[in-house]
Structure 1
Amino acid sequence: MNDIAITVNAPVKSVSRLAHRVAVSALFFTQGLCFASWASRIPTFQQKFHLNEAEVGGLLLALPAGLMVALPFSGWFTAKFGSRKIVLAATVVYALTLVVIGLSPSVYALLGGLFAFGFSGNMVNIAVNTQAVQVEAMYRKPIMASFHGLWSLAGFTGASIGTMMIGFGLIPFWHYVIITSAALLIAAISSGFVIKDEGTVAVDQPVFAKPDKALMLLGVIAFSGLMCEGAMVDWGGIYFKEIVHAEKAWIGAGYTAYMCTMAGGRFVADWFTARFGMKTMLQISGSLIAAGLLLSVIFPHLYTAIAGFFIVGFGVSSIIPLVYGEAGKSTTMSAGVALAAVSTVGFLGFLLGPPIIGFAAAATNLRVSYTIIAVMGLTVTLLSSRLKQ
């Protein structure tokens, strides 16, 4: 793996590091906007194709399936052709795939569209994070979390636009045409300001790169963090309904509190990381996850549970940005390949977390299941102690 070579051309003098940062930030926002736009219309597709809950669940597996298939290829392509070419090309494909999804005449066509959406989305993810690593190096201070914060902010924006489109009675196709047009415009404007890197890999470099010991440790930390994130996303509302016994209007309060602090936490995480260091921040993050979940489990009442979810959001917010930022500094493989390797391990936690919670809840109850997730938070703290500051 030491025969990989990545060369980054010196940026044109007229392009400031701020311009690079704004361009990469815009691409993060675009990716989040496209994803949230799809997610906001899931009920519309359910109604259109007359799907029950189980069928919707099966349909939604197509997107992570495409993402998982893309993981090793995205790192290799980014290393081979450079993150600039991949992030711009993949963003265009990702946005256009939205229109394809909106045109889907059948469930099978929708499945194919979602697979392509997941595949191209991960291409964007690895390439744009590779760009972010290079911009962060220019600033010589932590700024990775702010990029991910914009992705979260785009999620709120996309969900709000989706709600508005549903209110106007606009079908998904025209909704997605509007979003795709905006995404293509942003990509076109950003194209002149993203870092012009040229990547090369040795001919015998395998597509599937096994992470070394240091990257595997980062991958397991990401696994633990994303397992917590997946459980909060999929089971937060159910926890408030079945355990907290919240009234209907308050069932989503915990999830809302969690999402607000997860997004907001990313905009302040960089300052705290610069102040206390990456290792300490990860230890604090894991501790916050454990503390917030235990508060919700031990005192399953409305206000204490909301407070618990509020704390968990802060804990989850900085884990993936910090892990990605550190992985991108790997000295044994290119940034793109290293990010893909860590993402492969980490994303398994996001996929496995919700079903593990479900199986544990079926065998015991949901409070016990959330205790397991609290243990994963402590795992982040313990594993982070093995990292170099």
Structure 2
Amino acid sequence: MSLQLAVPVSTINRMRQAALPLLFILLGLVYASWASRIPAVRDALQLDPAELSLVLLCAGIGAVASFPLAAWMTGHYGARHSAWYAGIGLLVTMPCLALAPDMAWLMVAMTSLGLCSGCFDVAINALGAAAEKQAARSIMSLLHAWFCVGTLSGALIGSAFAGIGLSPLSHFGLLALLFAIPLRLCYRALPNDRPEPSAGKKYFSLPHGHLIVLGVIGFCGAIVEGSIADWSGVYMKDWLQATDGIAPLAFAAFAAMMLVTRLIGDRLKEHFNARKVVTAGALIAAGGMFVALIAPTVSLSIIGFALTGVGVATVFPFVFSAAGRHGSTALAGVATLSYGGGLIGPPVIGFLAHGFGLHAALSLVGVLCLAVALSASRAQWLE
């Protein structure tokens, strides 16, 4: 007790303010670290596009299956404890992705990754929604900007590690070791949230009413983000003959521009409204995909992926912010429908690539950006 009293209140407040951004960074790092090494893991196990699609499908299955569990954990233990438990699972799972000796074990590891990341995602977004409510102003876009700090850093680190020939196992193992301590410090720094009594409480339900519209927008947005994360590196390597060190830069550019856009996203929301910002962004994203797919050079294609990052940056922050106003159960329900896109998106791209080529398959991403624009333009609940 005396040690706690010795810590200045200002220091405790700063630690609490830093904890939530760090958790978003951690999720982004894990996400991008895997995405940056997909070509290496694919080559090591000699997977064709259809087989890689099945592997990615397992991650989506794990993510969607996680949301009822995430809602129960958040309601039963609180978002703080849920983030801690799911974070441990993430760090344990990462090295297993590289240790998988064949496709079957990689599918098991990917299911675990989807399960843990889904629970972690719901928990930290619930913490973010609570912090936004307490702040009485829009901060969700800024929090998701920290996620982009993680994805950008993870993609650049993955590019560097691939360039020097570091194995995925060493890469993922080092990541897990380095972030075990920050994860624990964040857990200790956050205030001990008190979950509501569980008697008679419904912890999960599929979205209904206007929440369905939010889920559909998130669904399409998840397909776009997931497809670019999982397939942009493969596209750069196979279609434009980029090296293992250069291929992850497409996703890095995508993540970088998402970061920049999310840093100003809350101000854009205040000046216009979420509906207009998401609609205009989705149109920009569609144009960016068009540029990326017709580009004859690596550098121009990277610019196209960067523009797509600008366009989809505000989808998740504003959809989750709107859903979070209805409570953690509504948030988990919208997240389930949203991340259904993560379930079917990358595998569908893979199966289409197997039949028609990756270039044609990624054209679907641009079409979905237009679908987001159309849906958002009519979603009054985003305002």
Normalising by the residue count of structure 2, what TM-score does the alignment of the two structures yield? Answer: 0.81
2:330 maps to 338
Q: CA deviation at 1:146?
A: 1.9
**Distance in 2, Cα, partners of 1:259 & 1:169:** 23
The whole-number CA distance in structure 2 between the counterparts of 1:48 and 1:238 is: 14
Counterpart among 359, 377, 382 of residue 382 in structure 1: 377
Partner residue in 2 for 1:221: 217
Indicate how the Cα distance of structure 1 residues 107 and 201 shifts in structure 2: closer, same or farther if over 3 A, else same.
farther
| Structure-2 change in CA distance of 1:14 and 1:72 (3 Å) | same
Tell me how far 1:181 sits from its aligned partner.
Answer: 1.7
1:178 deviation in Å? 1.9
Q: Which residue of 2 aligns with 1:179?
A: 175
The answer on 1:111 being equivalent to 2:107 is yes
CA deviations over 1:80-99 (Å, ceiling 9, x no partner): 21001110111112112223
Instruction: Give the partner amino acid of 2:151.
Output: G
Shift of 1:217: 2.0
Counterpart position of 2:18? 22
Give the CA deviation at 1:293.
5.2
Preserved contact between residue 131 and residue 194 of structure 1 (Cα < 8 Å) = no
Residues 1:45 and 2:37 aligned together: no
Quick one: which amino acid aligns to residue 35 of structure 1? Answer: Y
The one-letter code matched in structure 1 to 2:368 is: I
Q: Which residue identity lines up with residue 373 of structure 2 in the other structure?
A: L
Q: Give how far 1:209 is off.
A: 0.9
Change (3 A) 1:265 1:277: same
Conserved? CA contact 1:286–1:380, under 8 Å: no
Question: Partner letter of residue 320 of structure 1?
Answer: F
- Structure 2: which amino acid aligns with 1:387? W
Cα distance in 1 between the residues matched to 2:85 and 2:247? 40
The equivalent residue for 2:187 is 191
Shift of 1:311: 3.6
Residue in structure 1 matched with residue 4 of structure 2 by the alignment: none
Quote the residue 1:4 is aligned against.
Answer: none
Shift of 1:41: 3.3
For 2:319, the equivalent position in structure 1 comes to: 323
Greater helix share, structure number: 2
The secondary structure found in structure 1 opposite 2:206 is coil
The answer to which of 155-164 and 339-348 deviates more is 155-164
| CA positional deviation for 1:122 | 0.8
The CA deviation at 1:282 is 2.5
1:141 deviation in Å? Answer: 1.8
Q: What is the one-letter code of the residue matched to 2:139?
A: I
Q: Distance in 1 between matches of 2:237 and 2:97?
A: 32
Please name the residue that 2:30 is paired with.
34
Equivalent residue for 2:92?
96
Q: How many residues align?
A: 370
- 1:270 matched to 2:271? The reply is no
Whole-angstrom distance in 1 between the partners of 2:37 and 2:163: 12
Q: Residue 127 and residue 255 in structure 1: after superposition, are their counterparts in 2 closer, same or farther (change >3 A)?
A: closer
Per-residue displacement from partner, 1:204-257 (whole Å, max 9, x unpaired)?
444541323132221122123233334544665788899xx9786898887665
Residue 120 of structure 2 corresponds to residue 124 of structure 1: yes
Q: What do you get for the CA RMSD once the two structures are aligned?
A: 3.7
Aligned partners of 1:81 and 1:200 also within 8 Å: no
Q: Does 1:69 align with 2:61?
A: no
Q: String of CA shifts for 1:316-349, please: whole Å, max 9, x gaps.
A: 001101111111111xxx32x2221111111223
Q: How far apart in 1 are the matches of 2:323 and 2:66?
A: 18
Instruction: Specify every segment of 5 or more residues in structure 1 that has no aligned partner in the other structure, as ranges.
Output: 1-11
Cα distance in 1 for partners of 2:113, 2:161 equals 21
DSSP-derived class of the 2:189 partner: coil
Give the Cα separation in 1 of the matches to 2:258 and 2:184: 30
How far has the Cα of 1:143 moved from its partner? 1.6
| Equivalent in the alignment of 1:281 | 277
Stretches of structure 2 lacking an aligned partner (at least 5 in a row): 1-7
Offset of 1:77 from its aligned partner? Answer: 1.3
The one-letter code of the counterpart of 1:266 is: R
Q: Sequence identity of aligned pairs in percent?
A: 25
| Residue aligning to 1:5 | none
Q: In structure 2, do the counterparts of structure 1 residues 17 and 321 end up closer, same or farther at CA, with 3 Å as the change threshold? A: farther
Task: Name the CA shift for 1:30/1:351 in 2 (closer, same or farther; >3 Å).
Answer: same
Partner of 1:155: 151
Deviations 1:102-160 (A, max 9, x none): 44344433322221121111111000111111222232222212222222221232233
User: CA offsets, 1:156-213, max 9 Å, x none?
Assistant: 3223333444455544444333211221111121122223211135444445413231
Letter aligned with residue 330 of structure 2: A
1:284–1:381 CA contact under 8 A, matched in 2:
no
Query: Which moves more between the two structures, 19-28 or 282-291?
Result: 282-291
Larger mean CA deviation between 128-137 and 257-266 belongs to 257-266
Counterpart of 1:61, as a letter, is L
Matched, 1:211 2:207: yes
| 1:222-261 alignment runs, 5 A limit | 222-233=218-229, 257-261=253-257
